[in-house]
Structure 1
Amino acid sequence: MSIQHTAEKAKAASKLMAAVDTETKNEALRKIAEALEANKDEITAANKEDLDRAENENLARPLLKRLKFDSDKIAGVCRGLRSLAGLEDPVGKTLASTELDIGLELYKTACPLGVVGVIFESRPDALVQISSLCLKSGNGVLLKGGSEAAKTNRILADIISRVSEQSGLPAGWLGLLETREDVSAMLGLENSVDLIVPRGSNEFVQFIMNNTNIPVLGHADGICHVYVDRQADLEMAARIAVDSKCQYPAVCNAMETLLVHEDIATQFLPLAKKGLDEYGCKLKGCEKTREIISCEPANEQDWQTEYLDYELSIRVVSRLEDAIDHINKYGSGHTDAIVSSDEPAARKFLSLVDSADVFWNASTRFSDGFRYGLGAEVGISTNKIHARGPVGLEGLLIYKWLLIGSGQTAGEYASGDKQFKHTPLGKNCPL
């Protein structure tokens, strides 16, 4: 089947998806979770084939970690599916309502985007998360995962398609792309695809943007920072820094650069190093950092690097403003955190750091759709369109205007015979 035909089927199915009732969607999500658990052995066997092939091809260690889809990962995505089934259905939700005149009411209501094309890394769990979010939000979806996960992605897509269609969803709402040529073909299908979500490097996102007329929701690099302020609780700061870097370093919300105020650097850096050393984390530091702890020298390129591994660059700064400037210059607009007991300093940081997610006294690892209560995420948006940060259900919706009248004509208002009231109604659409 050609990609054009696959996309056209998804487009046709998306028209029907928009009208699927809440319980049908929720039951499909629950049934998918049951099917994944029931087929756990087949899924992990397919994943082992992918892992063995990737190891033979010398895939980088961080990418191998992402590729692994074992029993724990399956259990995790199934929890996510059931959590998503328990969330309120966003489709049809009234966002605003206005009485234009007596008997003439205007409603702004949430509706699906249509067909979403998602190009994602070699993470099979991402396929489940993305497809389930599109299901709940009433969208069709075209999925292209990393080639390293080809067998795992294929069995997952087959299970999700089969079970969801048996549960009452329209056939063809989910399509799987498997080659680079498929992606190139999808970029030209602006009549069938409504949004593209590329997850990957800045260069990759830019390539997609430059080669399609379809709107793109960009998920760029995750160059995340933790800034330890001069009035930080040092024990807390060390816990947050170690968790941000080492809890799971192969993901986009892991810290890549640690910024430390010079007033507490002498006390804090040895404490942080002790925790980071327990994970074997390789440290690179500025000149001031290397005067305090033993580490390799950091250079300009390090401030711009997403390591995705147990590797971290450290810089000592003189002022809060220097930390903010560093983040806004070198960061990717993903997630950045301040650790401080000084509320005015924290407020300044939260206001001036230009990122999708900005935290106070919390690990950068909280930047996640599931942790935000979004059910899961289709990706992280670091650009400024209709969705920013972890993109869950709401990011996969747009809106439409519904006008309910009682025979009014525009001419009556143009002539002055009738006047608009424009009174907020504060009620849900009755349809």
Structure 2
Amino acid sequence: MEEDKFIELAKKAKYASKKIATLPVGLKNTALLNIAKNLKENQEKIFEANKRDLEEALPLVESGELKQSVFNRLKLDENKMRDMIQGIIDISNLEDPIGKTLLKRQLDDGLILTKISCPIGVLGIIFEARPDVISQISALAIKSSNAVILKGGKESINTNKEIMRVIQEALDSTRDFPKDVLTQVFSRDDVKNMLSLDKYIDLIIPRGGNNLVRFIKENTKIPVLGHADGICHIFVDESADLEKAKRVVIDAKTQYPSACNAVETLLIHKDFKYTTELLKALEEAGVELIAKPESWHTEYSDKILSYKLVSTLEEAIEHINEYSSGHTESIITEDNKNAKIFMNAVDSAGVYHNVSTRFADGFRYGFGAEVGISTNKTHARGPVGLEGLTIYKYNIEGNGDIVKDYVDGTKSFCHKEG
């Protein structure tokens, strides 16, 4: 798309963001339920579009131009479709995140300060492969009263177009729903234009590989919410139960190896009595074990797992804080004291006890869906759902109040809560 046309598109999205910001929650929920209904009625057409994408992508996998892990994310099956639709319904049932009073303080008699949740504005979403991202982000954006410009990967272009067609059809049939809330773009030039328009776009959220995320962070002035790597760890402590350890580690590595919340490094306490049995169970589950990896920063996105024996809990924590991407880590232990130390000391968005790292997901957290996982230390961290797509404003109500009265001592603040 030419630059001037993209600027016009961004202007329309900005205008739409002002319209949806004041939309009643009932209308937003109606729009979401219409989308869910239309997706269900059109799922065969979506599957057909996805089949074309898979057929076109297969030769790229065979030639090495496309990673197998990306191809796996591209596939849209009945299970993913069911989760997509249910995720939208779940979001419609969530409390409206807009207009909530986050703080109320009496500054003085008749002078009231309130902190109110509000939308961010226009979101620019750039993602690779996973076509189910479109429905997740669209639903979250509508419920959080944001406008969105979406740019998907070329490998899923047919599926992306069909899903967006179905969503737009549902929105067009929703009375009084504003136009241009959702927009889809396709080219690399569109990405370049998106990253340059800080006047109209308020937040960029990339969902994809390391190279994509790093490129975006290095080429925009717009705030970026996301993560570049998914290097997750599990530490099997000395007191760990073998069966729990086997269940959790095998699930975290094999249930969906290409996911960003799959475990990549296993740390085992040197005094754990069942190390041999645990490693054997992993190999029997089809996991390739690497004792001395070239780098502890490696994200395999496959049934490959680095492992290391450590002497103490503190050594495990130090290793994780050194090499983790800040995504999700877990400790397997029957020692609650060690679990508490681990969970407090590990500096990641998600820290678990006796739980698979694969639980790091907005749908599993009850958020309905997520726009992505954030390892940022900003207003949103971990799976980013509705709350992560809101910001706040401060309102003050008074009666002709002026600062001069407080500066010269005529009046004084009381600062009472509530």
**TM, length-normalised to structure 2:** 0.95
Percent sequence identity over aligned pairs: 50
| Kept after mapping to 2: 8 A contact 1:7/1:175 | no
Partner of 1:340: 333
In structure 2, give the amino acid aligned to 1:178. F
Matches within 5 A, 1:2-13: 2-13=5-16
Q: How far off its partner does 1:304 sit?
A: 1.4
Q: Distance in 1 between matches of 2:60 and 2:293?
A: 31
2:260 maps to which residue?
Answer: 252
In the alignment, what sits opposite 2:194?
186
Q: Does 1:98 align with 2:90?
A: no
**Residue correspondence of structure 1 range 288-327 to structure 2 within 5 A:** 298-301=292-295, 303-327=296-320
Structure 1, 58-67 or 9-18: larger mean CA deviation: 58-67
The alignment status of 1:405 with 2:413, answered yes or no, reads: no
1:144-159 pair list within 5 angstroms: 144-159=151-166
Report the 3-state secondary structure (helix = DSSP H, G, I; strand = E; otherwise coil) of the residue aligned with 1:383: coil
Query: Is 1:82 paired with 2:101?
Result: no
How many angstroms does 1:272 deviate by?
A: 4.4
Match of 2:43 among 40, 44, 50: 40
CA contact (8 A) 2:123 2:149 kept: yes
Whole-Å separation in 2 of the counterparts to 1:403 and 1:166: 39
Q: Take 2:236 and 2:71, find their aligned partners in 1: how far apart are those partners?
A: 32
The question of whether the paired residues in 2 share the 8 Å contact of 1:201 and 1:221 is answered with yes
1:281 maps to amino acid: V
Of the three residues 32, 43, 58, the one matched with 1:29 is 32
What's the offset of the Cα at 1:114? Answer: 0.1
Partner of 1:304, secondary structure, is: coil
Alignment size in residue pairs: 410
Residue in 2 aligned with 1:270? 277
- SS of the residue 1:328 aligns to: helix
SS of 1:259's equivalent in the other structure is: strand
Q: Which residue of 2 aligns with 1:373?
A: 366
Who is 1:132 aligned against? 139
Whichever residue aligns with residue 412 of structure 1, its letter is D
Whether the 8 Å CA contact 2:104–2:112 is kept in 1: the answer is yes
Verify the 8 A CA contact 1:279 1:310 in the aligned structure 2: no
**Partners of 1:281 and 1:359 in 2: CA distance:** 22
CA–CA separation in structure 2 for the residues paired with 1:330 and 1:339: 19
Match of 2:271, SS state, is helix
Indicate whether 1:16 and 2:23 are aligned: no
1:54 and 2:57 are equivalent in the alignment? yes
Gaps of 5+ in 1: 286-297, 426-431
- The alignment yields a C-alpha RMSD, in angstroms, of 1.4
Please report the TM-score for the alignment, with normalisation by the length of structure 1.
0.92
Q: Which moved more, 1:209-218 or 1:224-233?
A: 209-218
CA–CA distance in structure 2, aligned partners of residues 396 and 263 of structure 1: 45
Do the aligned partners of 2:245 and 2:278 also contact (CA within 8 Å) in 1?
no
